Amino acid sequence: MTPNIKGALLMMGSMAAFTINDTLIKLAGAEVPLFQMVAMRGVLATVLVYLMARNLGALHLNFPRHDKWLIGARSLAELSATFFFLTALLHMPLANVTAVLQALPLTVTLGAVLFFREQIGWRRILAIGMGFVGMLLIVRPGPEGFSIYAIYALIAVISVTVRDLITRRMSSEVPSLVVTLATSVTITVSASIATVSTGWVPVSPGAGVMVGTAAVFVLMGYLFSVMVMREGDVGFIAPFRYSSLLWALGLGWVVFGDWPDAVTMAGAALVVGAGLFTLFRERAVHPPE
């Protein structure tokens, strides 16, 4: 198996794991309050990440203080993304929320231009514009199709964009599992504090199993996404992140009986097409060495 094929399989595995996690959380959310659910999942995920990091010898802070501040900022961005994404997920069809997230390659590219002064050509600028048109078709900013939770999904996109831009500024000395552990602890502690105001409810065995399984899948998603960066050419592998939309469409239809309408599907096609074009242009302008 070539590194590129292995990387593509890992990327698709990561997207599948994250989407299955989303499906389980959406199911459990019908019974368990959001903050309680995040706290429960976070405790298990944190323990698993800690054990993995310790066994791999990745538990150290021997990197510059600048990176420690970046880890803190990244954790806060991830906290914001988790809250807004999961709130949107509990109130919107799975495929719709996932489709909005497919704009991330576009927003990260735009953020790099605005904040890091990276240069892009008119083709990628046009692709970003088309991608945002597609995103508007998905969230439908009108009296009939619009929902406040669509705004939550957009805020989640902005939060993840900030997270990824911060990650770009980290040095290679920072272990990926330390970043993951810091993020997991931040989210778990914050959700636990928030449950003081919302309270806890009894959890049925079924809901408990779903939340526990979600923790395993979210950890698998993080692990595979770290492994991806060590396999093959990123320009070849990155487009396979869009496989998450296929998972969301299938699971949304089978589990929840949801299927996006024609306008939403057209918007998703625009977003994915624009994202793929942006990735391929990046590969053409900066070919792998």
- The domain ranges of the chain are 3-285
As a whole number, mean pLDDT of residues 261-267 equals 87
Higher confidence at residue 138 or residue 253?
253
CA distance 57 to 46: 16
Give the residue, 287 or 26, on which the prediction is more confident: 26
Assess contact for 10 and 234: CB atoms under 8 A. Answer: no
Torsion sign, CA atoms 26, 30, 31, 33: positive
- In terms of pLDDT, which residue wins out, 22 or 275? 22
| pLDDT tens-digit map of 138-166 | 876 655 556 788 889 999 999 988 988 88
pLDDT above 90 for 111: no
Does 274 have pLDDT greater than 60?
yes
Residue-level pLDDT at 76: 95
For residue 111, count CB atoms less than 10 angstroms from its CB and return exposed for 0-12, middle for 13-18, buried for 19 or more.
middle
Tell me the pLDDT tens digit for each residue of 176-192.
Answer: 888 889 998 999 999 99
| pTM confidence score | 0.84
Q: What pLDDT score does 204 carry?
A: 93
Q: How far apart are CA 29 and CA 84, in angstroms?
A: 14
- Contacts (Cβ under 8 Å, ≥6 apart) of 151: 139
What is the C-alpha to C-alpha distance for residues 39 and 19, in angstroms, rounded to an integer?
19
Contact 87, 149 (CB under 8 A): yes
pLDDT value, residue 146: 60
Model confidence at 288, pLDDT cuts 50, 70, 90, reads: low
**Tell me, what's the pLDDT at 190?**
95
Q: What whole-number distance in Å separates Cα of residue 213 and Cα of residue 20?
A: 9
The mean pLDDT of 81-95, rounded to a whole number, is: 92
Spatial CB neighbours of 153, under 8 Å, sequence gap ≥ 6: 84, 85, 88, 92, 96, 97, 100, 101, 139
pLDDT, tens digit (0-9, with 9 covering 90-100), for 57-81: 888 888 888 888 999 999 999 999 9
Q: In percent, how much of the chain has pLDDT > 90?
A: 34
Inform me whether the pLDDT recorded for 233 exceeds 70: no
